[in-house]
Structures are given as C-alpha cells and as structure tokens.
Amino acid sequence: MAGTTALLMLENFIGGKFLPCSSYIDSYDPSTGEVYCQVPNSGKEEVEAAVEAARAAFPGWANRSPQERSQVLHRLADLLEQSLEELAQAESKDQGKTVALARAMDIPRSVQNFRFFASSILHHTSECTQMDHVGCLHYTVRTPVGIAGLISPWNLPLYLLTWKIAPAIAAGNTVIAKPSELTSVTAWMMCKLLEKAGVPPGVVNIVFGTGPRVGEALVSHPEVPLISFTGSQPTAERITQLSAPHFKKLCLELGGKNPAIIFEDANLEECVPTTVRSSFANQGEICLCTSRIFVQKRIYSEFLKRFVAATRMWKVGIPSDPSASMGALISKTHLEKVRSYIERARAEGARILCGEGVDTLSLPPGNRGGYFMLPTVITDIKDESRCMKEEIFGPVTCVVPFESEEEVIERANSVKYGLAATVWSSNVGRVHRVAKKLQSGLVWTNCWLIRELNLPFGGMKSSGIGREGAKDSYNFFTEIKTVTVKH
C-alpha cells in the first residue's frame, strides 16, 4: 500500500501555522496493518517554538471576556459538527474503531465538549464575605494560569483531546497539546478549523510526536505551569517526576480495573446487553470498560449462559461495516499484549468460554493483517490472577460468582485501581449502600456510561489525581486569589 498510495503527511500547528518537521513516524491503519500516514517526530525545538507562540498569545486571550471566548468555542463546535462525517471516517481509519461508533459517540462528544464549556464558563460565581466589625469586604477572583500542557491518549482521540482543550481555553489559557502519535489525524484536521472559528494564533498549538521526545519536553518546561494527562500509570509516574521540581499543577486520569456487581434481583433483560457493551465497546479500549464481572451465585449460571450468547452476537468486522459492533485494536503490539493475558489465564487453569482461541474470526482478505480479535469471556479464574488485577485494555472480561454483599464489596475493592464500577439491583437501599462503599470515582447503577458533564469525573487510588468536569476543570485551569478591601 505504501508504495502505491500517497501517504497522508501531517504537520505541527504552532502559532496559527502548519509547520513541517525534520523527521516523521509511520502511522498504521489498524484494520489493515499497513502504513497510511506519517506523523511529525517532534522534539524540544518544536516544543520551544510552541511555548513562544503560546506565551505571546496569552495576554490578549486572557484579557478577553468569558462571553467573547464562549462565542469562539461555539463557532468551533459548529465547524466540527459540519465536518462530522469526514472526522468520523478519519477517526475510524486512524484508531480502528467502527465508523458507526465514531459517528455516534466520538465526534458528537467532541462537539459537545466545546459547547458545554462555552456555556459553563458563563455561569461560574465567586465568593464574597463581610467583616463589618473591622470594616472589610473579602472576595475571590479566578484568573487563567498561563500555558497548559495537554497530553491525550489514543483510544478516544478527538473526544479526549477536546475534553482538555475546551475548558483550558474557555478559562483564558493558551495550550500546547500532544495527541498520541498513534492517532493524530483528527487533531490535525481540527487545526484547519481554528482560524475560521476565530481562535487567535498561538492560543491552540498542537505538537505531534512521542512521549519521550515531545511529552517530556513539554512536562519539564519551566514555562508550562500545569499538565493535564490521560493515559497509563507508568507515564503518569514519569510526568510526576519531571514536573516535581517546578511544582506544576497536575490532573492525571489513569487506568481502571472496573467491576460490575450483579445481584440476584438484577433485571437481566437490561443487564446482559448493557454489560456486553460496557465490556467490549470500542474494542474494550475505554478506561471505563468493565473487566471484572461479579455475579451473585443464585443467578450465576443463567447470567453466564445469556452473557456468552450475547457476546457471540457482538460482531467483529471491518470498521466501515455498519453491522459491526467492534473494529480493530490500536496496534500489533497492543493486540499481542491483550492475547498474552488470555494465554496466561488459560495456563492458570481458567476457562475461555468464547472468543480468542475458541471461536473463528472471519475477515476479508485485505484485512487479515489487521489487529482484530474476538470479544473474550474468561471464567473459573482466581481474584489473584493478573487478569483480575491488571488493566488489559482490550475486549476481555472475567466473570466470577459471589455469595454476599459484604464479600463482593471487599473483592471489588481489592485492586489498586478505583475509576468506575457498575451495580445491578432492583433494591434501592442496596444500590445506595454498595455505591457508597465502593472505592470508585464513578458508580453507575442499572446503566453504564451515562455522563453528566457538570459533575466530577476521575478516579481514586492508582486511577489518578484530580477531577474533570464543569467546576473541577474550571478550578484546575484557573488560579484563585482572595482580595480584601477595607472601607
């Protein structure tokens, strides 16, 4: 393919201009395994240029009123929405997800991110108190921090990039963003819309490249006072080390090993299809996906029978197939990693009920080099297994029985992560009781992935530091000061 078709060549976007790079990285189409794009292999020089552009743009952008910044965000949202189909097709080709999912979730949510923060920036209030006995009035003021360093992952490329850019620039900051080098295309496409939306040069800068070259230069730069990162725990540890000498503000959204707890009074008609979706949506490559399913013993066999049958109906196909529920995983390396967990579980004596090594995957000849695998269900596995402890980040879930409420809460909390959980029960008292005891930043009951963007998003324990959402993002991307006036 590379020899017969012109490769898509991306460029950095710095100071309102597209700039070439001296070297490039190959980017692969996950559905074919072939190179189709080249991404700038940027480094310190490009980051320094972006810092200069962001520094120059900051005073003018910060001095604009929230209403003026809101209008710009609304215009950008409109332009993204007008390009929805083109962006969805590009996101699918770059990431491996189905076009249908990109069309229904990724791009609409990217649009919503700008509209949401364009609105929320207009509705924040400040505090004010009086001390009449000393004749003083106190009030708080929030101001933008400066240059925000934003590092986003490959699983929901434009969705999570805009989730960071929108609140940062709404609050008056300028930004330098580094998308994953594996999925850079929709960020590059968005840059083409910024000038038309009225975003001044230097307010949004996108520097493409790897973590060791771009990410480390950005995180360690003394003029970038805050870093928002979504990704893996090892990378977050490195970010923390590099930023510590500069006392930077950090927001780190990391992984999860998310439990679903299914009590005997659960409505299986709703629970089973929703839990299939929560386990395998986006090839299981969502930090909120379910990877441990605890089922109360009385309904365990019935749930397992229905769940395996429903999983086998979850079609794996080429991303352009409208009937496909799941596309390709992000890379050959990641596919091999996910498969290694299944082999490890099999070696430990676990049973693979469907999926990898059990069922046959049929693909067109042109896609047999792609990074596809079937959704896989594992049972008869111990809580101590690495498959039950570590984030696999693929279409693999483990199903195990439990007896009592107290037991399952302890087991659900027994991992180092604490991002999300789901609870299925028709007992309202139990729902509230269990949700309170689970060590998870988000708990869904009798549903999954219904998000209210006003409320905090983030995890406990090794799932991260900080929260994102209307108020939380505003607080992160601003500095607060107290003003006292004696009268």
Catalytic-residue membership of 253:
yes
Beta bridge partners of 421: 443
- How many Cβ atoms are within 10 Å of 24's Cβ, its own excluded? 19
Q: Which of 465, 470, 471, 477 is nearest to 253 (CA)?
A: 465
Of these residues, 46, 91, 181, 253, which one is catalytic? 253
Which sequence positions are flagged as catalytic?
Answer: 253
